[in-house]
Structure 1
Amino acid sequence: MGTSPGTIVKRVVEAQNDHDLEGMLEWIAPDYQTETPLHPERNFTGHDQVRETWETVFRTTPDFEATLLNLVEDGTTVWAEFRYSGTQIDGTPLDMWGVIIFEVEDGQLARGRVYLEPSEAGEETWQDVYEVEGEDGTN
């Protein structure tokens, strides 16, 4: 029996935290597809783009860390909740949170649907976001 889909995701995360690009690519299919439904212009296919993306991440965020917050495995599908953090070389903090839904085929990640967004620290609460106007037009 092969490596479970959840274990494959965990091994990719370990390689990310070791900044081991070749270790990551070992677990990623050569024709891997990234889909970002909220930002379709970021979609891509293939090892070359995976390599370029993660070389940039490791170069520009030397203390990059991937934290796997939660993982649910359902057959060949893995729902993984992440926090990506670090400090970029220009001093800008990196703090992204979200979910990636992976599909695993033949012992490698074949596809990932990415729902990661930067954290927006601020004073606005959920009530501020969803505040509804009163009948008289006031809040």
Structure 2
Amino acid sequence: MNTNDPIDRLKNAINSHDPRQVADCFTATYRSETPHRPQDGFTGSGRVLTNWTAIFGQLPDIQAEVLRRATDGAELWSEWEMVGTTPDGAKAVMRGPVIMTTRDGRIDWTRFYLSPVAVNADR
């Protein structure tokens, strides 16, 4: 694992459950795009902090794993799986690709395609 790698750094920050570590992975002018939910796009690492504070509140044990990754010039492509437990004890799973670019070692832009996964209660 390369701690200078933006993907590894973000994964480790998520797994630390510290929203400030997560926000520190992004530039102040970071732009988030969510093509399946365009209204959820935003700008700024401050919003990252707000979002991840809420996520950790709802999924305090969330764990992120990077399943695959590729680099195409300045673009970093990765496939993620995030698993956690909701306050009522239900398992929550999100999977999907994330495309990102970086500036000065921090994530500057992303397109998130993460989506909830239907979880079989018997698993």
User: Does TM, normalized by the shorter one, top 0.5?
Assistant: yes
Alpha-carbon contact 1:76-1:105 (below 8 Å) kept: no
Match of 1:9 among 4, 7, 10: 7
> Is 1:77–2:37 an aligned residue pair?
no
Aligned to 1:101: 99
Q: Percent identity?
A: 32
Matching residue of 1:129: none
- How far the C-alpha of 1:50 sits from its partner, in A, is 0.5
Larger radius of gyration: 1
- CA, structure 1 residues 64+121, in 2 after alignment: closer, same or farther (shift >3 Å)? closer
8 Å CA contact retained: 1:66, 1:83: yes
Residues of 2 paired with 1:80 and 1:92: CA distance?
26
Q: Secondary structure at the match of 2:113?
A: strand
Which amino acid is 1:54 matched to? W
Letter in 2 for 1:108: R
RMSD: 1.6
Q: Distance in 2 between matches of 1:95 and 1:27?
A: 22
Aligned residues: 118
Partner of 1:49: 47
So what's the TM-score if we normalise by structure 1?
0.78
Aligned residues of 2:93 and 2:119 also touching (Cα < 8 A): no
1:36 and 1:43 in contact (8 A); partners too: yes
Give the C-alpha shift of residue 27 in structure 1: 2.1
Structure 2 unmatched ranges of 5 or more: none
Cα drift, residue 81 of structure 1: 0.2
